[in-house]
Structure 1
Amino acid sequence: MTTLLAALQRDSGPSSDFDLNPGVELPAGRKLRPAGVLVPVQMIDGAAQVILTKRASHLKHHPGQIAFPGGKQDEGDVDVVAAALREAQEEIGLSPENVRVLGTLPSHETVTSFTVTPVLAEVKAPFDFVPESGEVDEVFHVPLSHLVTPSSYVIEGRRWRGQLRRYYAVPYGPYYIWGATARILRGLAERVSA
């Protein structure tokens, strides 16, 4: 966790789904909704692992995509950190009492008009995943060492709204991690390797 704490001290600016697409013009005065995602790191057999989810395939937004547990900040949430902790408990059964928040990474703007704050956290003790069946198809681990290695990332592209959109991806085994999740992790990798 020392490496992660050091990475949190390094400066870097916010990121967005548009980082690799400089020709995109974002509307002036756009309203972004606050959201928080948990980047939970758990030690398993002496190796740091990041917990990720595979979103349910029937969801309207981002079906089947790999994501961090998290979501929009609700009225009852004190802040985006509280939103991330609440959502992690709802989505994967991770109790807030079993989490040590290390800090937050720079915000990330999504194409769906959210400003997402990644909350880097240590999972203090092993726990049984309890995927929320309405939102989560699967919960799994990816070695932190893979995710903080810049060479693990590739830039790919696909057509979106009639234009080629480029994005980061960080494949791992059967999991295709891309989009906002990969961009946030790429930002962490840049901080760790700086």
Structure 2
Amino acid sequence: MIDELVTALRPLSAPPSGPGWNHADMTELLGDSRRLPAAVLVGFREGVQPRLVLTVRTDHLQAHAGQVAFPGGRSEPGDDGALATALRESEEEIGLDRRLVTPLGYLDRFETISGYCITPVVARIAAEARLYPAPDEVAEVFEVPLAFLLEPANLRRYTMEFRGHRRSMVEFVHGGHRIWGATAAMLHNLLERMGRT
């Protein structure tokens, strides 16, 4: 299953650049303003059944409070590319030791309504990695089996209206967690690249 995933990724030697795959949609909503660089870690914990690591953001955050998200955030001047950002943010948010992370490749970049252009970094996380939420940012860390995400019946499609525009959306619901918005869109991009949509 992980082998199939790896073959669908952009290689580590060629990180994606330029606008996100949804740039046209975001330009309708945001105009041509500069998008800030950011990165997230799409991390799969090793095991008999690989499991995707996700977080629930705390309720008091100014942006995306209470939402399910990948660990990650805005790139900082000291970061040497998206991989460095994703590893740094994962260490800060969920205590993930970067020595237990094996980067595998990249998904296509994605632009958010909050003005970021996100580079998703896909990686393998060692089974023994201990994860714990940073209480000022993360309320919970949970895991979703890759097999669940690959099951077509678990992908829900719907349409929402935002700023006068109708937008096609996707979501997953697992164990009481609603995975939607940017997180679901990036997972959908992974499924598309794997030929699983």
1:6 aligns with 7
Does the residue aligned with 1:167 lie in a helix, a strand or coil?
strand
- Quick one: distance in 2 between partners of 1:107 and 1:59? 24
- How high is the TM-score relative to the length of structure 2? 0.86
**TM-superposed deviation, 1:101:** 0.3
Q: Which residue identity is paired with 2:6?
A: L
Does 1:37 pair with 2:40? yes
- Quick one: distance in 2 between partners of 1:136 and 1:190? 29
Contact 1:17/1:183 (8 A) holds in 2:
no
- Quick one: distance in 1 between partners of 2:188 and 2:24? 14
Q: After the TM superposition, which segments of 4 or more aligned residues of structure 1 sit over 6 Å from their partners?
A: none
Does 1:170 pair with 2:172? yes
**TM-superposed deviation, 1:159:** 4.3
Change (3 A) 1:9 1:60: closer
- Quick one: distance in 2 between partners of 1:97 and 1:146? 27
RMSD: 2.4
- Quick one: distance in 2 between partners of 1:112 and 1:40? 23
**TM-superposed deviation, 1:17:** 8.4
Identity in percent: 38
**TM-superposed deviation, 1:80:** 1.3
1:123 aligns with 125
Q: Which residue identity is paired with 1:155?
A: R
- Alignment coverage as a number of residue pairs: 189
- Quick one: distance in 2 between partners of 1:151 and 1:143? 14
Q: Structure 2: which 5+ residue stretches go unaligned?
A: 12-18
Change (3 A) 1:173 1:17: farther
- How high is the TM-score relative to the length of structure 1? 0.87
Which whole-Å deviations, capped at 9, do the CAs of 1:56-98 have from their partners, x for residues lacking one? 0111100100000000100111111100000000101111111
- Quick one: distance in 2 between partners of 1:52 and 1:118? 13
Contact 2:148/2:154 (8 A) holds in 1:
yes
**TM-superposed deviation, 1:5:** 1.2
**TM-superposed deviation, 1:162:** 5.2
